[in-house]
Structure 1
Amino acid sequence: MNDLSSDVTLLGGKTTGIATLPDEVTDKPVVVFVHGGGATARSFDYRLVEFDTLWTARPDLVDEFADALRTRSPYVDAALFPGSTHGIADSIAGHEYCLQVLGFTESCAAAVSTPNSSAVERHPKRSSRMTTSAENLIDIHAHFVTDRYIEAARSAGHHHPDGMKTWPRWDAAEHLRLMDRHGIRTAVLSLSSPGAHFGDHEAARLLSREVNEYGAGVRRRYPGRFGHFACLPLPDVAGSLNELAYCLDVLGSDGVAVMTNTHGVYLGDPRYEPLWSELDRRQAVVFVHPTSPPCAEAVDLARPRPMLEFIFDSARTVSDLVFAGVFSRHPAIQWVFTHGGGAPPARRPHGTLPYRLLWHRPCRRHLPQRPGTDQPLVVRHGRHPFPHQIPTLAGSFGTDRILYGSDYCWTPGAGVGSQIVSLQTAEQPSPDTWRTLTTRNAERLMPQFARKLPAQCRGR
């Protein structure tokens, strides 16, 4: 691989230890690429077992490798790229791999060029390391899972959640390494689909409390690095009111997370009115995550539901909230809709035009009021935000409502890397960048995550 600059040493390809490192790493910033063998390597008959250590690297080996170098260079970082074989891009599915490497090298180059980065990089605890760039992202859409939660979901029949092959794993230290690698200051954790209600109110209350205690514990353990949206046991409204009070008042959660529907009950349902009233009173952030629609197997085309059904279920619940008048009755709720807001931006290239057309008879009686453009809707980046999705969102809602979200751990680390590359190589919203703009929007939505200025800078 080519050097990023004359001041940076790149070490690419296989590695089994630090003894083979060249001497020049002692006085230059170092970027280490560890290529891990995967399905591509295993699919060929000529692979020899004795070369396994040259083809495969484990995540813990990557960390050990980087930590061993930390005192030998002013900047060291390492990344594992599973699926590669000889470390040659054209020996695997090259496009996705090159995006991963490009995203990693860009984040490393940014850290190397940051003033005083050497002091940060010499810190022995890799999980607490973070660049000092003003463009560090706030990830509004990040997930966690626990072993107990996965066990409960599988017991309820969710062996292939939303049509996905399996459940992801999550670890705070691994998540922090990914955040550091890509310049993410804070990640707000929430439970993803299918939520915590599997049919029994009492069991859902207990499971919600358990995962909320865990998520809030992570938030406390890593202040400033993680936030937490509380899981509510909907459609149990009484249980949800109790849980939101406990999470917001006792645990210090940053808002609540709800699914687009639970067992076919969508968010505009009248039974949810007490919940919206309380959240409006608190001026709370409500993070709305898509899930499978009722009878999903009949419409999902035998494909994972995040591909299509998540998008349309977001559109369905947003429409339900509009038609039910929830937005207008509860204007203090701060709504966050994920995956680019679902389908509405795609079908609303001129703002609220389709909604305005519905204002004419015979549809008028189904609409609560004449539509406006000032509803507190916030949408976040999708998995592939550029070149089409974000410009469409900006044209529909304005740039002051767009947030960044990775969807990690359901989006693997490689996918997050591709997102970051897309974000940084797209046409930027002059005079801002997408990083600074989305972070500023997130800080306005949740001031508790605003970057703390040095004392001498305050009041200027």
Structure 2
Amino acid sequence: MDCACCVSSKRRQFLGAITALAGGVMAGVSATAAQAASTITTGVTRSIDIHAHYYPESYCDLVGGDGKKFGGRFTCDASSFSFQTPAGALGPLPMKFIDVDERLKDMDGSGVDIQALSLSVPMAYWGDRAFNAKLASTWNDAASKVYLQHPARFVVLATLPMLNASDAIDELDRAAELPGVRGVYMGTNINNRDLDDPLFEPVFKRIEQHKLPVFLHPQQTVGGSRLADFYLSNLLGNPFDTAIAGSHLILGGVLDRHPELQVTLPHAGGALPILMGRIDAGWTTRPETRWLAQKPSSYLRRFSYDTVSHSGPVLDFLIQNIGIDRLVLGSDYCFDMGYEQPVRFLDRLALPPEQRNLVLGGNAAKLLRI
């Protein structure tokens, strides 16, 4: 690619460091992991951000390289980069999405001890099967290397090539053994297929067997041209798509078929919690939903919810109606619709210390086995 960032000295230094890490890190994994474990101080709650996006340079290069034949494009300059793919476009985004050193500075400045790294739009659900699998494995390998370099600061939420169930299971089995992987990241829909589609049933079964939590994120959201203005595709499309995904997991029987499956909804559950009374009313009157043995609202505690709501009263609603133990810290790093100071945002809730510590990191530590 002929973009400025791809020939910069900073990029060469980055690639050199990764090459050195790949060549020598495995020999020191045990010592590094032990060092990370020794940083845990009994009685001190570490802040854990479960909603933090990362674009490895190897992933970006793949989108702009092999991805060209599928309509992918990656461009960048000294300060920003952009994606364009059949699954969506994004950017310009700041380079600190890629630069781990800049990320660590931001984490220190915002009081975040640990980030759970995840991919975001355009995810990995495009191209053919082989390219889809390559996108996922490239991201997972790169994120795991970041964990190995900074095991006290990061964990990894693996992405899967969900266009084919067998490919997704193969990558899940492989990624589950990678250092730092603590969960699975998934779109609220997969190439416009909802999550109760039979295609994904064996994948959820295997995820449940691995005892890995699933974290959802909106992509290819509903609304089309009606949400094109005023950034409504994000402001409304994202929370609506989260509500649709959660509803399909409930009404489509996914949560019943997989009773041990743990799912975290982004953006404080989107529109789902506030609309649950209406969904319950439909369950009592409409034959399309009445087959469900329990009312839909009884499933709300099957989900966890991040704090990216931009509203203290919304989070109070979740705490009062679902439970303090289901709320986890999130920032949506480092999108402009996220929090620059996710820890400070908790101060809006006026929680007693023990409850604040649960949201700050206690709940996430249990979920992610940290």
| TM-score, structure 2 as length reference | 0.76
Alpha-carbon offset, residue 259 of structure 1: 0.4
Corresponding residue for residue 430 of structure 1:
352
Q: Is the 8 A contact 1:324 1:367 kept in 2?
A: no
Distance in 2, Cα, partners of 1:410 & 1:180: 17
Cα 1:332–1:207 shift into 2, 3 Å: same
Pairwise CA distance, 1:159: 3.1
Return the alpha-carbon distance in structure 2 between the equivalents of residues 183 and 431 of structure 1: 16
- Give the aligned partner of residue 287 of structure 2: 363
**Could you say if the C-alpha distance between residues 405 and 307 of structure 1 is closer, same or farther in structure 2, counting changes exceeding 3 Å?**
same
Provide the C-alpha distance between the structure 2 equivalents of 1:302 and 1:163, rounded to a whole number of angstroms.
17
Q: Secondary structure at the match of 1:240?
A: helix
The aligned counterpart of 1:187 is 115
Could you tell me how far 1:366 is from its partner in structure 2? Answer: 5.7
Asked whether the 8 Å contact 1:191–1:231 carries over to 2, the reply is yes
Cα deviation 1:32-53 (Å, max 9, x = unaligned): xxxxxxxxxxxxxxxxxxxxxx
Alignment match of 1:344 (pick from 254, 268, 272): 272
Query: Residues 193 and 369 from structure 1, CA distance in 2 versus in 1: closer, same or farther, beyond 3 angstroms?
Result: farther
Pairing partner for 1:441 from 360, 363, 366: 363
Matches within 5 A, 1:44-443: 134-153=44-63, 155=68, 156-157=71-72, 158-159=83-84, 164-169=90-95, 170-293=98-221, 296-301=224-229, 303=231, 305-348=233-276, 353-364=277-288, 367-371=291-295, 373=298, 375-382=301-308, 384=310, 386-411=311-336, 416-424=339-347, 426-432=348-354, 434-443=356-365
**Aligned partner of 1:146: which letter?**
P
**C-alpha separation in 1, matches of 2:211 and 2:274:** 29
Aligned partners of 1:150 and 1:167 also within 8 Å: no
Could you tell me how far 1:390 is from its partner in structure 2? 0.7
Q: Secondary structure at the match of 2:177?
A: helix
Q: Is the 8 A contact 2:324 2:358 kept in 1?
A: no
By relative contact order (CA 8 Å, sep 6+), the higher-ranking structure is 2
Distance 2:291 2:227 in 1: 28
Shift of 1:295: 6.9
Show CA shifts across 1:172-231 (max 9, x none): 111111112222121100101220122311101011111110001111111121000101
After TM superposition, give the deviation of residue 136 of structure 1 in Å: 3.3
- SS of the residue corresponding to residue 199 of structure 1 reads coil
Larger CA Rg, structure 1 vs 2: 1
Distance 1:367 1:298 in 2: 33
Q: Which residue number in structure 1 is paired with residue 33 of structure 2? A: none
Q: CA deviation at 1:281?
A: 1.8
Match of 2:263, SS state, is strand
Structure 1 unmatched runs, 5+: 1-59, 61-129, 450-460
| Conservation of the 8 A alpha-carbon contact between 1:131 and 1:183 | no
Q: CA distance change for structure 1 residues 134 and 240 in 2, over 3 Å: closer, same or farther?
A: same
Deviation track 1:136-155 (CA, whole Å, cap 9, x = no partner) reads: 31111111102343355464
Structure 1 residues 163 and 345: CA distance shift in structure 2, 3 A: farther
C-alpha distance in 2, partners of 1:162/1:310?
Answer: 14
Change (3 A) 1:149 1:297: farther
- Structure 1 residue identity aligned to 2:279: Y
Distance in 2 between the 1:342 and 1:318 partners? 9
Letter in structure 2 aligned against 1:143? H
The CA distance in 2 between the partners of 1:135 and 1:251, in whole Å, is 23
Q: 3-state SS of the aligned residue for 2:298?
A: coil
In structure 2, give the amino acid aligned to 1:437: V
Paired-residue identity, %: 27
Give the alignment's Cα RMSD to 1 decimal.
2.8
Q: Name the CA distance, whole Å, in 2 between partners of 1:255 and 1:248.
A: 8
Report the equivalent of 1:89: none
Q: Which amino acid letter does the alignment assign opposite residue 204 of structure 1?
A: N
Q: C-alpha separation between the residues in 2 aligned to 1:205 and 1:435?
A: 38
Give the AA of the match of 2:172: L
| Partner SS for 2:184 | strand
- How has the CA–CA distance of structure 1 residues 296 and 153 changed in structure 2, closer, same or farther, with 3 Å as cutoff? farther
Separation of aligned partners in 2, 1:382 and 1:334 = 19
Contact 2:330 2:342 in 1 (8 A): no
Please, what TM-score do these two structures have when normalized by structure 1?
Answer: 0.62
Q: In the superposition, relative to structure 1, how do residues 219 and 236 fare at CA in structure 2: closer, same or farther (>3 Å)?
A: same
Task: Please identify, of 187-196 and 300-309, the stretch whose mean Cα deviation from structure 2 is larger.
Answer: 300-309
Residue 396 of structure 1: how far off its partner (Å): 2.8
